[in-house]
């Protein structure tokens, strides 16, 4: 590992700091969020379909809804990206016409990262070559928990070097990590190796995003930025289904990282269900558009 990583790891927040910070965040949330905030939240959602049953028809249907969103809701921003399995990237690339909506693909042995490194690298590169703008890559959780940090970093670095200008969102599967230090440590390793985003979870484990884990990741990103001048994004994901959930994460990110992070280039929320709830809150009646 690098000297930079070793230096920054010492800045891990304590449990007391996290509790104090979250208390301040919660105290600042009063009543229903305003329309502007709800629209900002909608604009950072990665609209996700990662089901075993996904097929050409279901992905075409989702892509079509994203394409027609602005015609139906002309004064409301669309989602930031459509996130799919890599085999559907060519289809989405062919059919997606919505402006400013990115194509994200989970790749690299998702969701377990338990395959040959060459396959991980090849899958990520193939997805980008097929049209993906962003790769959501699950880092090697097994190697990390086995203290083989060099393997973790080397895989991230190799994938980043093979996907060109595409964003690399590194999933640290925070729900499987044992404590604050491991979440902070995993975030630092990923950023030091070239991650463009730190993402909490695959959504395939019993524990996904939590306010505590997102607070710790934000703190790691802040420390890394203060040391290097490099802005790394954050993506809470997994189990975020309501605007009430989303507003908590929105405020944690804003509290720790500031207004500069409150845009799709540095902040995303991954969900298959959240967009409908946020859209319903904006409109004022129940909508099941997506």
Hey, which residues are catalytic here?
A: 136, 199, 235
| Nearest residue to 88 (alpha-carbon basis) of 68, 105, 67, 107 | 105
- Which of 138, 177, 176, 134 has the alpha carbon at shortest distance from 156? 138
CA distance 100 to 70: 11
CA-wise closest residue to 159 among 145, 173, 140, 144: 140
d(CA 140, CA 173): 10
Q: Is the dihedral of CA 242, 281, 233, 130 positive or negative?
A: positive
Extract the tokens encoding 28.
């600042």
121 HSE (CA, 13 A, CB side): 13
């Amino acid at each position: 590992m690098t000297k930079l990583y070793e230096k920054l790891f010492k800045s891990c927040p304590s449990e007391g700091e996290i509790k104090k910070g979250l208390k301040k965040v919660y105290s600042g949330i009063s009543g229903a969020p305003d329309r502007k905030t709800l629209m900002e939240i909608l604009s950072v959602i990665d609209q996700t379909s990662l089901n075993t049953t996904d097929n050409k028809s279901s992905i075409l249907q989702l892509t079509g809804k994203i394409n027609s969103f602005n015609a139906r809701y002309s004064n409301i921003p669309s989602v930031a990206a459509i996130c799919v399995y890599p085999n559907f990237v060519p289809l989405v690339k062919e059919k997606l016409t919505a402006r400013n909506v990115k194509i994200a693909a989970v790749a690299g042995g998702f969701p377990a990262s338990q395959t040959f490194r060459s396959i991980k690298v090849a899958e990520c590169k193939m997805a980008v070559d097929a049209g993906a703008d962003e790769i959501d890559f699950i880092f090697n959780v097994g190697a990390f928990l086995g203290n083989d940090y060099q393997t973790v970093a080397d895989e991230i670095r190799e994938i980043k070097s093979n996907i060109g200008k595409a964003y690399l969102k590194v999933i640290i599967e925070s729900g499987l990590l044992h404590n604050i230090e491991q979440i902070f440590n995993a975030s630092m390793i990923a950023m030091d190796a070239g991650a463009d985003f730190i993402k909490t979870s695959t959504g395939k484990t019993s524990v996904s995003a939590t306010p505590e884990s997102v607070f710790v990741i934000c703190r790691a990103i802040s420390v890394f930025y203060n040391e290097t001048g490099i802005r790394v994004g954050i993506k809470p994901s997994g189990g975020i289904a309501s605007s009430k959930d989303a507003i908590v994460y929105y405020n944690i990110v804003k509290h720790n990282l500031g207004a500069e992070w409150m845009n799709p280039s540095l902040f995303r929320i991954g969900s298959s269900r959240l967009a409908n709830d946020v859209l319903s809150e904006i409109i004022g009646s129940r909508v099941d558009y997506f």
